[in-house]
Amino acid sequence: MTDAAPAIFAALEASGFGAAIRQSRWLYMAANIGHIVSLMVFAGAIAVMDVRMVRALSATSPAYVLKAARRIAIIGFICLVISGAFLFTAEASHVIMNRVFQIKLGLIALGLLNIALFEISIAPKVKNLPPLTPLPSGARATAVASISIWIAVAICGRSIAYF
């Protein structure tokens, strides 16, 4: 435990759940693998949506691509949150003080904000567009921002152990 961490995170780490994760032969490893697999699922779905919004895959209706990939992205994100909670609980007092982890949290918030912006301003405009139709302004910018943000989140996540 890190003494500088807020008490709530030290308590979370010291909880029976935190101890069980650290002491289990398989639980932390399974959560880590689950986190990586969930990241692959989430990132793959996000990449498909973003690639469509930067005008690739234009022979396919944007709504069709978004609908299918959105479901997979949501499942991947939920699994990321669950597996991330396991990983965080095991080392909460250390991880919460890690600057790279703090940056990762900020980037996740930015990524979710970008998704909200897209869903409010762009998604309704592409809902009924047929294939090969030009996309509305802003679609490309939100897609480029999205893929950049989520790549940065993944880089931070994998870098936490080194800082």
pLDDT tens-digit map of 89-140: 999 999 999 999 999 999 999 999 999 999 999 999 998 999 999 999 899 9
pLDDT value, residue 19:
96
pLDDT value, residue 34:
98
Q: Confidence class of residue 3 from pLDDT cuts 50, 70 and 90? A: confident
Determine the residue type at 46: I
Q: Confidence class of residue 4 from pLDDT cuts 50, 70 and 90? A: confident
- Whether residue 1 has pLDDT greater than 70: no
pLDDT value, residue 148:
97
Mean per-residue pLDDT, 39-56: 95
pLDDT tens-digit map of 99-110: 999 999 999 999
pLDDT value, residue 125:
94
145-151 own/partner pairs: CB under 8 Å, 24+ apart: 145/114, 146/46, 146/49, 146/50, 146/111, 146/114, 146/115, 146/118, 147/46, 147/47, 147/50, 149/107, 149/110, 149/111, 149/114, 150/42, 150/43, 150/46, 150/111, 151/43
- Whether residue 38 has pLDDT greater than 80: yes
Q: Confidence class of residue 2 from pLDDT cuts 50, 70 and 90? A: low
- Whether residue 68 has pLDDT greater than 80: yes
- Using CA atoms, how far apart are residues 78 and 76, in angstroms rounded to an integer? 6
- Whether residue 82 has pLDDT greater than 90: yes
- Using CA atoms, how far apart are residues 2 and 33, in angstroms rounded to an integer? 25
For residue 15, is it left (φ>0), alpha (ψ between -120 and 50) or beta?
beta
How high is the mean pLDDT of the chain? Answer: 95
